[in-house]
Amino acid sequence: MENVSDAVKSESIKSFQSTIRKSKNGLAQMTEKGASTTLIRKRLNALYIGLAMLENVWNQKPHNYNQEDIAEARNTLNGLFPSLENVYSKSKAGSPQRTLLERRIKALELAVQAIDNHSKE
């Protein structure tokens, strides 16, 4: 896994925590409205696993996920890139939204790397 500064590690973990919080709020709203929650539950689980993998690599925190769950999370996280990159390309340079998206994309890339490295062990 690439050498990552403490600042990027901190930003990545905060980005995952923020994304998880927003997803949990979205899930609650969707549940309240009776909408289908399958996709958001799958993404939320992948975000939890991505965060756990980063914390495992950087902070040696153990996790309880099996290889099958980790592989599914990797695919789900990879599936988020096209829409994030699309929104990023439409965002204004220097805007807070663009900064947030840059951090989110970087955090997802690092989580996928952590999963790939974990899978090789």
Distance between CA atoms of residues 14 and 33, nearest Å: 29
Q: What is the pLDDT of residue 120?
A: 74
pTM higher than 0.75: yes
Distance between CA atoms of residues 85 and 66, nearest Å: 29
DSSP 91: S
What pLDDT digit, counting tens, does each position of 57-81 carry? 999 999 999 999 999 999 999 999 9
- Phi, psi angles (nearest 5°) of residue 20: -65, -45
Place of tokens 């927003």: 22
Q: How many CB atoms lie within 10 A of CB 110?
A: 24
* Structure tokens that stand for 14 in this block: 């905060």
CA 91 to centroid of chain Cα atoms: 20
